[in-house]
Chains A and B, each alone.
Chain A
Amino acid sequence: MTKPPRAPHLPARYTAGLGLLLLAVVLGRLFYLQIIQHSYYDFLADGVRSRIIPSIAPRGVIYDRYGLALAESKLVYGLDVLPYQLKNQRFVLEFLRQIGINTRTLEARLRDKNYLPYELLAVKADLTPRQISYIEENKALLDGVIISTRIVRYYPYANEAAHVLGYVGQIGSAELNKLKNYGYQVGDIVGQAGIERYYDAYLRGVDGGRALEVDALNNPVSGLRALEPVPGHDVYLTIDLALQRQAARALGARKGAIVILQPDTGEVLAMVSKPDYNPNYFTNYLSAAEWQELVTQDHPMYNRALSSYPPGSIFKVATMLAALESRIDTARSFICGGSMVVNRRRFDCWRAGGHGAQNLLTGFINSCNIVFYNLGLLLTPQKLANTAAAFGLGLSTDIDLPFESSGFVPTERWKQRRYNEDWYPGDSLNMAIGQGYLLTTPLQMAALTASLANARNRLCRPYLLQKIVSREGKLIVQNKPEQAGVLPFEQKNIDLVRDLLRETVDRGTGVNARVPGLVIRGKTGTAENLKKDHAWFISYGPYDRPDLAMAVFVEEGGFGGTVAAGIARDIYVWYDARSREAQK
């Protein structure tokens, strides 16, 4: 097996030479880099101390329809720490605690290996003037502590219209992947919800920056290059802030939503969702208490005006129109004994004792379920679905807000596909009174109301944007109401429903909304819910030629005629008073 060693052959001759050659190259290169070019590289190593100071473009301002600033940019003094300059870390941390700054996150990050020592750590976004002066006085002892100015988003009216405006925050990684080709970068502050999100491309500007050379103490030595930031465009909304606040006040501490539209144009004058939140929280680093406030069971971040709920009796407006269009005799009489049985299932009227003899008209005014159950049996399910679709139910309204629910209008075919079941008469009964599978959003119901309120029967397309104007005053976008077609119903039927809506408020279930001297038309609704029923009231007024069309929705609010109608009345009364004031 073992053989005598062979004489070094060809490879052996190469190996020694190659080794020496490589050694010479490496040593030569090291000599060149470390001895000959040493001063050059030493200079470059100092270049670590040149720093790019970004200057963030201020976001555009969001105004209401009368020019009140709802969201603006504010200059604040923040506290940053540059870890590698911290000479006396324990002293600095103790000092910061003494002046009331929470250092827990900072301490964790100083220990965390993922944060590099030359990366600025943001500690607090909004220093009080006292804190600033404490730090300035002791600056000599606080190496590595930096007071930085930055522009943050500020919502002067805090919770008001929070769901419309949305809030801003650092861009998420999923969004960044989608948007990085449009100039979005890691760490960018972008709109996360509402108008801030929907019109982010207009509101955000183009960031600038300065390249600075700083000495060992981080003081700027010379400015090298500068790029001026370009501020974002200003957005004017259709929101009427005073009306918005009044609506929020009327809803009070209840959960729910109010949407108020201008019936001629579809402009959204107010959109309230309760409970709400303070968008200013997102500007600063959230405290634990603030975070707790946002993650309660009531979901304050959730815009209820754009979420789906069963409409209940307010849907009887559509059922009624379907019946009139199908030429069902309005004088036809039904006996309401409090309940009726179809296919061995009992269906109740909301009034336990029953309404007695009711025709279509009194049945509408009193919101008698028995009348509408019968209409449900007389009408085909397709007719009901078509009528709902004519008002745009089951489709999103395409309002300029993100995350809008489209609601749902069931059909025979859908039920067949989804549950592999036939459409039962019971399904028609439920749908006729706005129950069952049917779902609508407060915004959709407000739009339905505005369509009925429109003098020319125009279908309402709600929108929030009035115009977008650049910082120099140049008009970028001017929004106009969209021409969305007219209600496909006979004029006499529409007129009859309008009269019935007035009767409902004057002497029917909506009497709580009645105000002497004002013309208010409306329909109450009580949507069955597992816990407590939802209360609805859709209405328009307060004059014969209506200024407002609104939907009031109170989650688990009980009987619609009691709670929701009262809220609407308060808003009309306030609106009328303001109009009179304005005329004086």
Chain B
Amino acid sequence: MDIFKSGARIWRHFDWRLFLTALALSLWSLLVLAAVSSPGQFKRQLLSLGLGLAVFFLATALDYRQFKRFAEILFGAAVFLLLVVLNTGHTAYGAQRWLNLGLFSFQPTELLKLALIFLLAKFLEQKQGRLDTLLDVLPGFALVGLPFFLIFKQPDLGSAIVLAVIFLVMSFWGGMRLSRLLMLASPLLSILALHVLPVDPLLAWGVYLVLLLFCLWRLRFPLLDSGVYFALNFCSGLFSSFFWNSLSLYQRNRILSFINPDIDPLARGVRYHMTKAVIAVGSGGLWGKGWLQGALTNLRYIPQQHTDFIFSVIGEEFGFIGTALSVLLLFYLLRRIYQIALKIPTDFGRYIAIGVLALLSFQSVINVCMNIGLAPVVGLPLPFISYGGTALVMSWLGLGLVQSAAMHRQTLEL
């Protein structure tokens, strides 16, 4: 096959530090999961890791540019799978996220994140850094809008926000002005102003809209653009109840109680998870209670401790040493991706790397912060560490794409 033509020569550029850091995180995850997952889950995670490594090396060996022309198809397929899962999917934790394929179940959302990165990279490359007018931006905005809406309806708030973050970060990197970026994100603020702030909603919204107008005037947007941004904000405000209410009650309450703890002062209801996670982390101390020795962990006191709250298990059983090590490993991995990204010669490849970086870093930060009481509980896994096969395989695939982009430097002979 011609895609292997470049042969062994490219492997000189293989980044061992990236690979070994990710591998270390994966193995670390298995050690922690051994304490909290059932034997069946552990076996599945082991299989997923094997699959992830295979996918990683395959993606590394192949020239990522070969697949550029499939970006739209891949994205379309991911959206289609998402639609299927919305209608038939199997439900867990109140949201439809899994597609049951008999032998294993599969989370289309995770695939969609990578597909979006791939397609956005292609789109931004075509734009060549020209993202100065509304017309330049809108196709990308529409691209992220549809899956955002679908995932939001699942309702999977965390993943929907991840899509938005990927879009904003990649666009920023692709040359969009910060002010326009903020304006694109502003409809979300409109919703927050009406529903989340602990003050009179209409007053908050009014103040917010006035502020928005002021910003639009100060930032000297063209009149048409200003009109569109204001209209977007106004409409999202008008339909905010629809968006807000499509979240399930517990999700809304988690956000509300994070901003206003008085809603649940005894932490018996909606703040339950987070408070218990913080207690588990804090009780770990410097050295932790020891592997398999965490009292709260063994009592399964924190629900979902193998997925969203696995960091609290690390905190309790391995203490500050364990958490700091995990955080530093993750930081090192992300920093490595970033450094590689800067050296990638093609725009397309660099955008992919930045997208993967945005995906992994946002999930890492939010998940860790969720576990230590710095972010509301929105349900995002910790990359490479949380239990979850699709996410693990997709994370490895993302790394594979980054590696491939770093290694395949010569001009493609098409």
Contacts and interface: CB of A to CB of B under 8 A. Distances in A.
Interface string B283-313: 1111000000001101111000000000000
Interface in B342-385: 342-347, 361, 365, 368-369, 372-374
Residue from A1, A12, A31 with most neighbouring chain B CB atoms (10 Å): A1
Contacts of A11: 172-173
A29 B374 contact: yes
A358 to B, nearest CB: 72
Interface in A414-439: none
A44 B373 CA distance: 15
A118 B301 CA distance: 8
A37 B327 CA distance: 19
B111 interface: no
Interface in A110-140: 113, 116-118
A572 B217 CA distance: 98
Interface string B326-354: 01100100110010001111110000000
B278 interface: yes
A81 to B, nearest CB: 15
B322 to A, nearest CB: 9
Interface in B155-196: 172-173, 175, 178
A144 to B, nearest CB: 13
Interface string A1-35: 11111001111100110010011011101110111
B282 interface: yes
Contact of A30 (B178, B281, B301, B347): B281
B374 A23 contact: no
A320 B320 CA distance: 94
A41 interface: yes
Contacts of A113: 38
A29 B172 CA distance: 29
Given A118-B299, A118-B301, A19 B335 contact: yes
A84 interface: yes
A25 B368 CA distance: 11
A15 B172 CA distance: 11
B338 A48 contact: no
Contact of A40 (B280, B282, B344): B282
Interface residues of B, number: 46
A45 interface: yes
A22 B365 contact: yes
Contact of A35 (B172, B286, B328, B347): B286
A30 B372 contact: yes
A525 B86 CA distance: 62
A5 B327 contact: no
B412 interface: yes
A8 B338 CA distance: 12
A38 interface: yes
A42 interface: yes
Contacts of A10: 178
Contacts of B284: 34, 38
A38 B285 contact: yes
A41 B334 contact: no
Interface residues of A, number: 37
Contacts of B301: 48, 118
A30 B345 contact: no
A35 B287 CA distance: 10
B342 A41 contact: no
B143 interface: no
B411 interface: yes
A31 B320 CA distance: 7
A42 B300 contact: no
Given A11-B172, A26-B327, A27-B324, A48 B282 contact: no
B331 A41 contact: no
B29 interface: no
Contacts of A44: 279, 282-283
A42 to B, nearest CB: 5
B107 interface: no
B319 interface: yes
Residue from A38, A45, A118 with most neighbouring chain B CB atoms (10 Å): A45
Contact of A33 (B281, B361, B411): B281
Nearest to A15: B338
Main secondary structure of the interface of B (DSSP, over half): helix
A35 B315 CA distance: 11
Contacts of B251: none
B323 interface: yes
Given A22-B365, A30-B372, A35-B320, A41 B300 contact: no
A174 B278 CA distance: 36
B285 A30 contact: no
A25 B298 CA distance: 29
B285 A34 contact: yes
A5 B300 contact: no
A19 B299 CA distance: 35
A542 B346 CA distance: 108
Contacts of A84: 298-299
A19 B279 contact: no
Nearest to A18: B361
Nearest to B319: A34
Contacts of A29: 372-374
A117 B38 CA distance: 15
A186 to B, nearest CB: 14
Contacts of A5: 342-345
Given A8-B342, A11-B173, A23 B327 contact: yes
A281 B116 CA distance: 61
Nearest to B410: A2
Contacts of A2: 345-346, 411
Given A19-B335, A48-B299, A113-B38, A41 B346 contact: no
B278 A33 contact: yes
Nearest to B368: A26
Residue from A25, A37, A38 with most neighbouring chain B CB atoms (10 Å): A38
Contact of B282 (A16, A23, A27, A42): A42
Nearest to B350: A5
A208 B369 CA distance: 39
Contacts of A23: 327-328, 331
Nearest to B285: A38
A41 B282 CA distance: 5
Nearest to A25: B374
Contacts of A35: 285-286, 320
Given A26-B369, A27-B327, A116-B300, A41 B338 contact: no
Residue from B295, B328, B411 with most neighbouring chain A CB atoms (10 Å): B295
Contacts of B412: 1
B282 A1 contact: no
Given A11-B173, A48-B296, A34 B411 contact: no
A26 B327 CA distance: 8
Interface in B237-287: 278-286
Interface in A94-119: 113, 116-118
Contacts of B345: 2-5
A38 B299 contact: no
A27 B283 CA distance: 16
Nearest to B177: A10
Given A30-B323, A34-B320, A116 B299 contact: yes
A272 to B, nearest CB: 49
Given A34-B281, A41-B279, 13 more contacts: A3-B347, A5-B343, A29-B374, A33-B278, A33-B315, A34-B282, A34-B284, A34-B285, A38-B282, A42-B283, A44-B283, A116-B300, A117-B300
Interface of B: 38, 172-173, 175, 178, 278-286, 295-296, 298-301, 315, 319-320, 323-324, 327-328, 331, 334-335, 338, 342-347, 361, 365, 368-369, 372-374, 411-412
5 contacts: A1-B346, A23-B327, A27-B324, A34-B285, A44-B282
Interface of A: 1-5, 8-12, 15-16, 19, 22-23, 25-27, 29-31, 33-35, 37-38, 40-42, 44-45, 48, 84, 113, 116-118
Q: Which 4 A-B pairs have the closest CB atoms?
A: A41-B282, A45-B283, A34-B320, A33-B282
